[in-house]
Amino acid sequence: MSRIEERFRELRNEKRAAVIPYLTAGFPSLETSERIFRALAEAGSDIIEVGIPFSDPLADGPTIQRSSQIALSQGVTTRDVLDMIGRLRETLDTPLVVMTYYNLFYRYGLEKFAADAERAGVDGVIIPDLPPEEAGDWLKTASGKLDTIFLLAPTSTDDRIEKVALATRGFIYCVSLTGITGARDELSLVLPDFIWRVRSKTDKPLAVGFGISTPEQAKEVAEVADGVIIGSALINVINRGKTQKEQVDKAKGFVEEIRRALRS
């Protein structure tokens, strides 16, 4: 059983949804993001998504796109991110999931990335532009080493849900709406029916992301899902900090708010 699967098993016993923050590594700087990742773990994050900056993040909205551009402008590389994860893993037990796009894996080398990621302490990967039908080479390489987490959208057909449920490990990433990432004022009205459709096909954990902005929305999502993923809203909070300490403290405080909401 992987670290991710073990965490969801613990959460089912606690009858609580997972808190899963996302942050682009290298934003606002590599050093600051490393401090923030540690703070997110201290705040009680159940799983942490570490974004590897990419020049053309098709699934991401302007907030995460800008964070990637800032990281890339400082020269942050895939190797830098894996080295940082290695340092985090020395003291953190929190499951760490890398999120980025397939071109980075391909250019890095599939076998080399899988080996380096495993060595660094990565538990899973999310590759938004890699559908299960085209993931054979990667799944063969990552098998037994890294959980590969696939995405589903409200528009996914029953056949698609079954394929993703069969291929994914760790959890299924359920996109709450059609479109790109970004904070939203309201949750999609189709979310409960969408989650029900996926649950009818699998017993694997379902985590919901895209558009979750507030503790109240997180609590609403937690009523139907096994995990709540928050990225753009966290980055917006970090942007309000004027110093490194303020940025770290604001990120930690935001995740603590989300945890309190899910426990209430």
User: Has 60 been annotated as catalytic?
Assistant: yes
Among residues 5, 34, 46, 60, which one is catalytic?
A: 60
Instruction: List the structure tokens of 76.
Output: 């942050």
Identity of residue 170? G
| 41-44: long-range pairs with CB below 8 Å, 24+ | 41/88, 41/92, 41/94, 42/252, 43/251, 43/252, 43/253, 43/255, 43/256, 43/259, 44/19, 44/255, 44/256, 44/259
Give, as one character, the DSSP assignment of residue 52: P
Kindly write down the DSSP assignment for every residue of 62-92, as one continuous string: HHHHHHHHHHHHTT--HHHHHHHHHHHHTT-
> Is 47:122 a contact under the CB 8 Å cutoff?
no
Q: Which two three-digit tokens encode residue 253?
A: 């405080």
Tokens of 13: 């016993």
Identify whether the C-beta of residue 171 lies closer than 8 Å to the C-beta of residue 8: yes
For residue 49, indicate whether it is catalytic.
Answer: yes
Helices 232-239, 62-73: axis angle to 10 degrees equals 60
- Cα separation, 199 vs 175, whole angstroms: 14
Name the catalytic one among 49, 123, 147, 256. 49
Residues forming a β-bridge with 135: none
- How far apart CA 49 and CA 125 sit, in angstroms, is 9
Active site residues: 49, 60
